[in-house]
Structure 1
C-alpha cells in the first residue's frame, strides 16, 4: 500500500483504485479507515480513486502533536499528498466529516482544486445538524422493529456523560437511522475495525470548529475561492439530516445540491447508479 511522509514526517497511507483521471478521496468518521469507501459504488470504473487515511486513522501514523489532527490542520496533509502525487490541480471527493477538511483545503490553497464533491457533509465550519429535522427523520421510522432500541440509544447519546466505550456501543444501536432501508446488506457495511480506537481523536478533529465569535470570518474565508462544488445529501440521513448539506451548498457560490430520495448517509451504497452518474457527469464537465 503506498504511503508518504507529510509535512511533519507523519507517515500517511493511501490507496489507488480503478482507472481514469485521479480523484483524491477523504474519508469521514472522523477517523474511519478508508476501506469502508471501497469503490464508491462503481465510481472506480470511471476514475482512479486515491483515498487517504487521515492522520491517526486507518493505517496512517498517530502524530506527535494531537493538534495536527484538527480538520483545519489536516488540509496541510492534502497539499502534501498533491505534491507527492505530482498533480498541478486535483479533483476532490470527501465524505461526511472529511468534507470539513476538503473545504478548508480549497480555501487555503486557491486554484489547486478543479472540482469538489461533498457527500453528506457534516457542515461548513463544524457539525451543524438541525435537531428538529433529525427528530422528524427518526420519528418517521417509529413503525420499524429496530426503532425502540435505536431511539433509546439515541436519547442516551444526546444526554451525554458517557465513556468512549459506552458511546461506541450506543452508536452501533443507532446505525439504522443512517440508512434509508435497514437490512442485512447494509448492516454488513458496518465493520467495527474501521472505526477509530483512539478516544481523543474525535475531540481533536473538531477542536478548531468555529465558535459564534469566529463563525462569520470562517465562512467568509471558505466561500472565497470559486470552486465548483457538487453537494450530495441523502433524504433519509437520520445521522445528520440534510440541513448541513443545504448550508454548505448555500455557502459556496458555485455549488449544486442534489438530495437522493432513497439514500441515507452512504448514498453510493443505497443508490450506486444514481450516485456514480451524478459524480461522473459533474467531474467530466470541463
Structure 2
C-alpha cells in the first residue's frame, strides 16, 4: 500500500495504491460515493484478484483531500480523477464508480478513452435526482450540519438486514465526518449533471450493478443508464442498498472478478 498526494487546480488530493507496485500492471481504479472516503472499498480489497494494481482516492471535500469552498462542478470532479490517473500513469484501466463515482466514470470515459478501457457503473445513473432535491439537501445540510440528515441517508444507503445494526455505525460516522462544504459541493456537482447523451455515445465493455433495496439509485434507474451502452451487462445484488460493496462484499467481489476476467484484465 502506498499513499500519494497529488496537486491539481490549487488543491491536493489524497490517493492510495494497493496490490502490484508497477504502472505496467493491469490497473483497476475505484471512485466512491458522496459522503464516503476511499475506505468505502476496504471490505472488498482482500477478495479481489492478486497481481493487479488498485487505485482509489478521496474526492475533493472528502477524506484526506483538500476541501475547497462549495459548489463544485462535475467537470472538476472528472478532472480530479484525470489528474490522479495521469499522476499514477494509469492507462487502459477498468474504472469502477459507485454513485457519483459512476458519474465520474462516465465523464472520464467520454473525455479520456486512453485511460478508461472498461467500466463498472455501480448504483449510479447518467442523471441522479433533480435540482430541487439537491437544493433542498444543500439547504438542510448548510443550515443544520451533517448529523440531522444522517439517519435518512443511512436508510437510503442500506437494506433492511444491515440498517440499524452495529456494523452500520462506522459508515454513519464516516458520513457525519464529511465537511459540510465538501458534501454540499459534490451535491451541487450531481445536481448539474445529465450524462444521458454523452454516455449513449460510449462503446466500451460495461457492467452495471444495482442493489435491490437501494433508496438512492433504484435498480431501474441504474439499468436505464447501463442500457445506453450497447453490449453492457447488468446485475442486481439482492438484499443490498446503495453500498453493496459494504453489505455484500463477497457477492460484489465475485461480480468484479468475473468482469475483470471477461475483459482480459486477469487471466
* TM-score, normalised with respect to structure 1: 0.74
* Deviant stretches of 4+, over 6 Å: 157-160
d(CA) in 1 for partners of 2:147 and 2:219?
25
d(CA) in 2 for partners of 1:8 and 1:158?
28
Which residue of 253, 261, 266 maps to 1:276? 253
Cα RMSD (Å) of the superposition? 3.1
Alignment of 1:1-286 (within 5 A): 2-19=3-20, 21-29=26-34, 31-40=35-44, 42-46=46-50, 47-63=52-68, 66=70, 69-121=72-124, 123-127=125-129, 162-164=140-142, 166=144, 168-174=146-152, 175-180=154-159, 181=161, 182-195=163-176, 197-208=178-189, 218-285=195-262, 286=264
Residue 80 of structure 1 and its aligned partner are, at CA, apart by 1.5
Contact 2:58 2:65 in 1 (8 A): yes
Residue 195 of structure 1 and its aligned partner are, at CA, apart by 4.6
d(CA) in 2 for partners of 1:90 and 1:253?
19
d(CA) in 2 for partners of 1:53 and 1:264?
22
After superposition, the C-alpha distances for 1:73-127 in whole angstroms (9 at most, x for unaligned) are 2111222222211233211111112111111111111242111112211x20343
d(CA) in 2 for partners of 1:161 and 1:83?
35
Cα 1:126/1:271, change in 2 over 3 Å:
closer
Q: Work out which of the two has the higher radius of gyration on C-alpha atoms and give 1 or 2.
A: 1
User: Mean alpha-carbon deviation: is it higher for 108-117 or for 17-26?
Assistant: 17-26
Number of positions where the alignment pairs a residue of Structure 1 with one of Structure 2:
251
Contact 1:35 1:194 in 2 (8 A): no
User: Mean alpha-carbon deviation: is it higher for 49-58 or for 166-175?
Assistant: 166-175
After superposition, the C-alpha distances for 1:235-275 in whole angstroms (9 at most, x for unaligned) are 01123322321221122223211011121122123322221
* TM-score, normalised with respect to structure 2: 0.79
d(CA) in 2 for partners of 1:208 and 1:90?
24
Residue 231 of structure 1 and its aligned partner are, at CA, apart by 0.9
Contact 2:15 2:56 in 1 (8 A): yes
d(CA) in 2 for partners of 1:163 and 1:12?
24
Cα 1:183/1:81, change in 2 over 3 Å:
same
Structure 1: runs of 5+ lacking an equivalent: 132-156
Cα 1:259/1:167, change in 2 over 3 Å:
farther
Which of the pair is proportionally richer in strand?
2
Contact 1:71 1:206 in 2 (8 A): no
d(CA) in 1 for partners of 2:220 and 2:184?
22
- SS of match in other structure, 1:243: helix
Cα 1:158/1:186, change in 2 over 3 Å:
farther
Structure 2: runs of 5+ lacking an equivalent: none
d(CA) in 1 for partners of 2:169 and 2:176?
14
